[in-house]
Amino acid sequence: MKNQAVRDDVKDVEDHSAISRRSFLKLMSATGGATFALAGTPKLSIFDFAKTAAAKTNSKGEWLPTTCQGCTSWCSKQVYVVDGRAIKVRGNSNSKVNGIASCPKAHLSLQQVYDPDRLKTPMKRTNPNKGRDEDPQFVPITWDEALETVADKIMELRDNNETHKYMLMRGRYSYMRDIIYDRMTKIIGSPNNISHSAICAEAEKFGPYYTEGEWTYRQYDIENTNYILLWGADPLSANRQVSYYLSAWGDALDNAKSAVIDPRFSATASKSDEWLPVKPGEDGALAVAMAHVILTEGLWYKPFVGDFVDGENRFFANGMVNPGTFEEKYTSGLVKWWNIELRDKTPEWAEAKTGLSAEQIRRVAIAFATAAPHAISWVGGGPVMQPRGSYASMAAHALNGLVGSVDNVGGTLKANKEYTQSFPGSDDFMDDIAKEGKSHKKIDHRGRKEFPTLTKGKSGGGVVTNNAADGIINEDPNEIKVAIGYMNNFAFSAPQSARWFEALAKIPFLVHITTNASEFSWFSDIILPSTHHMFEKYGYVKAHGNGYRHVTMNLPVIEPVWDVYTDETEIPYLLAGKLAERGFTNLLDHYQTYVDPETGAAPANEAEFALYALKHATHKLWDPAKYQAGDKFSGWEEFKAAGVWNSAPYPFKKRWGKMKTATGMFEFYSETLKAALEGHAEKHETDVDDILETCNYQARGEMAFVPHYEEPLVHGEENEFPLTFVDYKSRLNREGRSANCTWYQELRDLDPGDEAWDDVAKFNPIDAKKFGIETGDKIKLVSTTGTIECTAKLWEGVRPGTVAKAYGQGHWAYGRVASKEFGKSARGGNNNELLPADYDRLSGSSAFYGFARVKVEKV
Amino acid sequence: MAKYAMVIDLQRCTGCGGCILACKNENNLSEGVSWSSKIAWTEGTFPDVRYTYITTLCNHCENAPCVKGCPTSAMHKTEDGVTNHDPDKCIGCRYCMTGCPYGVINFNWEDAHAGWQEQEALIADVTAAPAEMVQQVGGTSIPYYNPALEETYEGVRPRGVVEKCNFCNHRLENGQLPYCVESCPSNARAFGDLDDPNSDVSKLLAKFRSFRLREHLGTEPKVFYVREFTPGTNVASKGGV
């Protein structure tokens, strides 16, 4: 009641503002989603708050540096430690990427490290039957028993010359990863190190790579931009540099307009000028229509793109242009792109596809391009982690080329240079068994005709994470007998998770390295408890934002709470010791080459190994004798105390004309993609059209090499499955790992439209009426491949014809809070049990968005 | 003697809830208790939708109805204008909650952190009971217990009393800002002395038109709001008035 009174009061205040809330809504209606220009507002000086980042808290403790990997922002942090207890978290002011800013989900890390449901000790299953409904009947075992059992199983493979039947599954990682992921797998002798990257956001990198030659996530210079156009990105909630964007967004809005393209009204949409609730999967149509408008209106950025020789614009709807009439500067193939794809992609054409008015499409495109070159087209996962998403990734990213914001002030930037170094090589430690084993094909089928996975231009260059389940189930190309997974939970995090239940149950000997007994653990034989990455581990990561790149270290700021070891360093070292005891010394011999750069000493134990490996990897950052650029330290101790190294500032416009593409230019006609596709076709003795047909793309001929529109590939017929499912990430998600925190559950309503202690599927009231659904109803969502249960909520922030639900809930294991009943029933529903396993095959990415139809049933 | 106030810049506020979490962390708040909170709502009809988020906390009113209604003076004003609470004097009558027009006072129906007193482990001998975890780590009532509160207040408050924001009294005593101000990733909060024209709060109030919640009630809140959460929808406030 009082909340209502406060609401009414705030509305009263708004109503007395210069433009009232009601007239705003009226105006929005009149224009079909309005924009409000604000010309000439001076940028106000930033008022300074007396933040006490440097001040000491009074009680007896100290702030110690480390790194948060709750999401892939990878912020540098400081943890306040009192009497050996971690009690608070804040941003590390030494970082030029995130500074003191620290997002809300960082606090939840305290409830993770001190989660009572963390494993205290290794355990093994005593029920030999594996399955979703089989209680593993875990019992504690010693580290010796656990590691000796794992070593015995690996030795069996080696003795039988079948080391290729060993597999390593990597989830979230620090850059210590290669110790366990690469070196250990190679020296044992297997090709099967499978990372999670393709269930992350590889398709996001596809567009930038095949236009500007950078297989990387971008950073966005929002403090110097005048327009921010976001494609499914929700940086105020999730990925990447959430802390930084939270700190900069409010002031960026003084200068910039922002528009959010998303079928769901996101947190970032709530802080933006305009919402474009596109029909799921139709982002590509919107992108090419915007490109069409920018060209026909003559708004491309001529100092970057060039111009017609005589200055007269020949881009008219439907008309062809003679390439000889246009002279490009730092781009390549603009006229080809126009002639092949853009000329008939009018806003009116896109209106029918996208469900957005031609007027809004034209207006936003013009406003965006008018801000050139300080205009950002920000490509998030939503439009691209879809079947056929690679081309939407190219199309949306190509807008940055049109407005010259690539590598430019107020634009879209790559990562700055950093100087970490690789671990010692493994070649000398691979014996004949290992070499033979390694020569086998990988379990995820990358590089096969139907999985080009053209990472960095190479056929089979990337991973097809989710297809590994099918590889295991079908024993294709071979069976997997022994597998280890670390900091992963593919039985929860990969679409059509039930396939993973089957695949994991099939593996005769499965090991899981984890903090909590998760869904993956449920199918495992041995579970090894790991340190928490933020408080108990040595490691480092690289991240970029705010015009800088930082290398920030995971440091043990407290003693491990229980008898646990670190996944990427200590556990492989300890396992190497057990293998050596069994006569196979190669892995331990290799690890002995990770010497302390300061003393030259080889590691005497697992703790020294972890430390020396980190000092080795970061050597050029902290040793003044090896100084390259960026922050300079007097030595390891000073670097460790700072916790983070910062790069030199961003070198703007240095890549104009020198991009790592086939032409050196920003490619609107991608010679780079042409070479990659032709390479893949040649490998399979066919042509590019056949590859595209096999991989479910619509493009044929020259269309394959330009950013273009592809119709969404959808699972489920509309008459049976009337709603398109819209997945998104909660702003409190620490990937899939925070649902066991009470703070997560209590505050799930921080996501617009969501509810505390619940998992709500949000329906537009129009659809709800159609299906007889009311807020609070317990419902089932049914797709072509799965069913989940959750709660219904009516909300105007979802597009009619869609149903939106956050990822994060639906754990049936993990802990007492995350699951309704551990091992049995879930709190809410896991979106991945609903989503079919399908792929954007050019990038290998799993599809998460815009491709799954569902129906709703009341429970 | 100061006249403490907080100013919240709604354009900078991103609705992330960092303040709520930081406050729960700093002040050892039990599950379900929030001294810093929010009121959020969605209005309009698709596609003309607006989401508004107002961050809330004790307004430290000059004419505080909670203080007037308290029969034991447990709820009282300090000389710096902060509304403070003494759990030793509190009889749990909840008149303060009835009187508060903002709904920002919490009542402790249960023992603090009851969940952490549980004795049962999820997996026998492999995971810990919550109480065992607290003991292992050496915290008081919760593993991440913040002892700093004890300097001016009770580390956790017992069942049967009320509790609310005290502008982080224990931090003010040490010349530190309230933790929500320090922790806000969006730099949306300022704190300081209204009588000091050079304080952050005075400067902000001079620069921007401000409002306070339910101002017409005459409570004279000391929490001020400037600009708007959704700046793009209100031309006049974008970039400030």
Tell me, yes or no, whether A331 and A451 share the same domain.
no
d(CA A663, CA A149): 54
Taking each helix axis from N to C end, the angle separating A283-296 and A389-402, rounded to the nearest 10 degrees, works out to: 20
Q: Indicate the pLDDT class of residue A60, thresholds 50, 70 and 90.
A: confident
Contact A196, A171 (CB under 8 A): yes
Give the pLDDT confidence of A135-180 residue by residue, as tens digits: 999 999 999 999 999 999 999 999 999 999 999 999 999 999 999 9
Q: Is A30 on the interface with B (CB under 8 A)?
A: no
Q: Does A517 touch chain B (CB under 8 A)?
A: yes
Q: What is the CATH number of the domain that holds A369?
A: 3.40.228.10
Q: Is the pLDDT of residue A484 over 80?
A: yes
Model confidence pLDDT, tens digit, residues A639-653: 999 999 999 999 999
User: Predicted confidence band at A46 (pLDDT cuts at 50, 70, 90)?
Assistant: very low
Do A442 and A312 lie in one domain? The reply is: no
Is residue A167 one of the residues assigned to a domain?
yes
* A57 — pLDDT class (breaks 50, 70, 90): very low
Position A697 in a domain = no
Q: Tell me the torsion sign for CA atoms B221, B222, B223, B224.
A: positive
- For residue A561, the chain B residues in CB contact (below 8 A) are 133, 136-137
- A2 pLDDT band, cuts 50/70/90, is confident
**Beta carbons of A206 and A388 less than 8 angstroms apart:** no
pLDDT bin (cut points 50, 70, 90) of residue A59 is: low
Type of residue found at B231: P
Q: What whole-number distance in Å separates Cα of residue A782 and Cα of residue A835?
A: 10
Q: What pTM did the predictor assign?
A: 0.95
C-beta separation of B11 from B227 below 8 A? yes
A383 to A48, A205, A399, A704, A784: CA distances (angstroms): 38, 12, 15, 18, 21
Residues A403 and A437 in one domain: no
What does the pLDDT read at residue A9?
A: 74
Domain stop point among A359, A381, A413? A413
Q: Return the pLDDT at A851.
A: 97
Mean pLDDT, residues B69-90 taken together = 96
pLDDT in tens, B141-186: 999 999 999 999 999 999 999 999 999 999 999 999 999 999 999 9
Summarize pLDDT for A75-88 with one digit per residue, the tens: 999 999 999 999 99
Mean pLDDT in residue range A355-368: 97
Q: Are residues A194 and A234 in the same domain?
A: no
Contact at CB, A271 and B16, closer than 8 angstroms: no
- Token pair for A416: 């700055």
Mean pLDDT of B23-38: 97
Q: Where are the alpha helices (DSSP H) in A623-670?
A: 636-642
Q: How far apart are CA A100 and CA A50, in angstroms?
A: 12
Walk me through the domains of chain B, giving residue ranges and CATH numbers.
4-226 (3.30.70.20)
User: Average model confidence (pLDDT) for chain A?
Assistant: 94
CATH number at residue A148: 3.40.50.740
- What is the pLDDT, as a whole number, of residue A156? 98
Query: What six digits make up the tokens of B202?
Result: 């005075």
In which band, very low, low, confident or very high, does the pLDDT at A270 lie, cut at 50, 70 and 90? very high
- Whether residue A38 is predicted with pLDDT greater than 80 in this model: the reply is no
pLDDT of residue A20: 34
> Are A437 and A389 found together in one domain?
no
Contact A517 B238 (CB under 8 A): no
Residue A35's pLDDT is what?
Answer: 33
CB of B111 within 8 Å of a chain A CB? The answer is no
Lowest mean per-residue pLDDT among A59-68, A554-563, A579-588, A827-836 = A59-68
Nearest of A487, A397, A96, A465 to residue A217 by alpha carbon: A397
Tell which B residues from 154 to 213 touch A, by Cβ distance under 8 Å: 170-171, 174-177, 181-183, 185-190, 192, 200, 203-204, 207, 211, 213
Q: Give the pLDDT confidence score for residue A634 in this predicted structure.
A: 98
Task: Out of B186, B190, B233, name the one closest to residue A249 (CB).
Answer: B186
Give which of A519, A524, A498 is closest to A509, Cα–Cα: A524
Of the residues A45, A48, A49, A767, the best mutation for testing chain B's interface (the one with the most B CB atoms within 10 Å of its CB) is A49
Asked if residue A835 is part of any domain, the answer here is yes
Q: Is the pLDDT of residue B237 over 90?
A: no
Report how many helices (DSSP H) and strands (DSSP E) chain B contains, helices first. 7, 10
Q: How many domains does chain A have?
A: 4
Q: Residue A18 CB: number of other CB atoms within 10 A? A: 10
- The pLDDT value recorded for residue A11 is 67
Q: Verify that A729 and A852 share a domain, yes or no.
A: yes
pLDDT tens digits along A296-339: 999 999 999 999 999 999 999 999 999 999 999 999 999 999 99
Shortest distance between the Cα of A850 and any Cα of chain B, in A, equals 19
DSSP annotation string for A207-258: HHHHHHS--S--EE-GGG-SEEEEES--TTTSSS-HHHHHHHHHHHHHH-EE
The predicted pLDDT at position A1 comes to 64
Select from B31, B47, B239 the Cβ nearest to the Cβ of A746.
B31
For residue A688, tell me if it sits in a domain.
Answer: no
Backbone phi and psi for residue A80, each to the nearest 5 degrees, phi listed first:
-90, 120
How many residue pairs bridge chain A and chain B with CB atoms within 8 Å of each other? 309
Residue A827 in 3-state DSSP? coil
Note whether A384 and A465 are same-domain residues: no
Domain annotation covers residue A734: yes
As given in the structure block, the two tokens for residue B227 are 């600009």
Is residue A371, in this structure, part of any structural domain at all?
yes
Average pLDDT over residues A588-616: 98
Same domain, A284 and A190: no
- Is the pLDDT at A847 greater than 90, yes or no? yes
Residue span of the structural domain in which A20 resides:
1-31
When pLDDT is averaged across residues A797-814 and rounded to a whole number, the result is: 98
**What pLDDT is attached to residue B1?**
86
- Å between B89 CA and nearest CA of chain A: 26
Asked if A255 and A188 sit in the same domain, the reply is no
A728 shares a domain with A585: no
- In this complex, the residue of A2, A18, A247 whose CB is nearest that of residue B185 is A247
**The pLDDT value given to residue B139:** 80
A597 in the same domain as A500: yes
Beta strands per DSSP E along A583-721: 644-646, 666-667
Residue A540 inside a domain? The answer is: no
pLDDT bin (cut points 50, 70, 90) of residue B233 is low
Per CB-CB distance under 8 Å, the chain A contacts of B47 are: 32-33, 275, 277, 799
What residue has token string 């482990």?
Answer: B121
Q: Check residue B122 and report its DSSP letter.
A: S
Whether A236 and A326 share a structural domain: yes
The Cα-based distances of A394 to A98, A176, A707, A737, B225 in angstroms read: 28, 32, 5, 32, 43
* Interface ipTM: 0.97
Among the partner residues A139, A250, A752, nearest to B12 by beta-carbon distance: A250
Mean pLDDT of the A421-425 span: 98
Yes or no, beta carbons of A253 and B232 under 8 Å apart: yes
Q: Which residues have CB under 8 Å from A144's CB, separation 6+?
A: none
In this predicted structure, the answer to whether residue A379 has a pLDDT above a threshold of 90 is: yes
Residue A160 has a pLDDT of 98
Please check whether residue A695 lies inside any domain of the structure.
no
pLDDT > 90: percent of chain A: 93
